Structures are given as structure tokens and as C-alpha cells.
Structure 1
Amino acid sequence: HEAEVNRLVYDTALQLGGTLSAEHGIGQLKRDELARRKSAVAMGMMHAIKQALDPCNLMNPERVLSTTSPKLAASD
């Protein structure tokens, strides 16, 4: 039930003008929610920045930006 509760909390926070993350950032726990909430363009931009700064994907590979995400694959 954790995923259901998390989604309800995220939905409510966003409806009230809040965000998905705070001082700890997105991280692995909110990674899927980020992909659901951001457009393919936004996810593609994040992926492009990651690629530009870390072309060998050495810094925390697959931690936040998944290279297998459907939204990323569509925007590449």
C-alpha cells in the first residue's frame, strides 16, 4: 500500500502548490514519480544535461535518470 499512499500524498502536495521533493532531492524513491510528472521534453532535457556532464555515465548511473525510461527513449 506504500505506493498508493505515496501517490496520494504527491497528488495532494502538487494540488496545493507543493513539490515532490525538498532538501533531499528526487533520489531513487521518487524517481518513477518524477518520470510520471514531467513531460518527455523536460525528461529529455535532464537526460541531455546528464549526458553532457557525464558522457561515460560514471556518476550515479541509473540512480535518478533511467536510460530505459520510455519517456527518455522517446525524446532521444
Structure 2
Amino acid sequence: MDGLPTQDTSALALPRLQLNRGSATSSGSESKPKKKICCACPETKKLRDECIVEHGEEACAKWIEAHRICLRAEGFNV
């Protein structure tokens, strides 16, 4: 392979199933994230950071996006 992390990305899609938990409701009120952004999504953060250090940001778009998806599912506006 190309040396990029090989974790199954289907597991990273799981936070998408929880989008309603931390997102705005139909009444317009938003719930605040329950964690600090630095502590949210440690799995995707680790994979993203390792990929960027080893291969550069350009080669790691899928890991960067997976981490953003996870953060959004946790209620962060990124």
C-alpha cells in the first residue's frame, strides 16, 4: 500500500448516525458540545495527526474530513 493508516473508514461513519444529538433542533435552539474540542473524537484525531506528520496534509484529506464529520456530530461548528 501507500503507507497511509489503514483503519476501516466505515467505523468513522458511525458519528454521522448521531448528527441529531448535538445539532440544532427545529426550534432553532442549539445545544452546546459536551466536551472541549481538544478532547472530542480522539480516534479520528489520532489518525488525522499521524497521517499529516508522516505524509503531509495534502495526502490526508479523507482523515481530515472524517475528523470534521466526527466533530460536527459532537456539536462543534467546524
Kindly indicate whether structure 1 or structure 2 has the higher relative contact order, using CA contacts under 8 Å at least 6 residues apart: 2
- TM-score, normalization: structure 2? 0.34
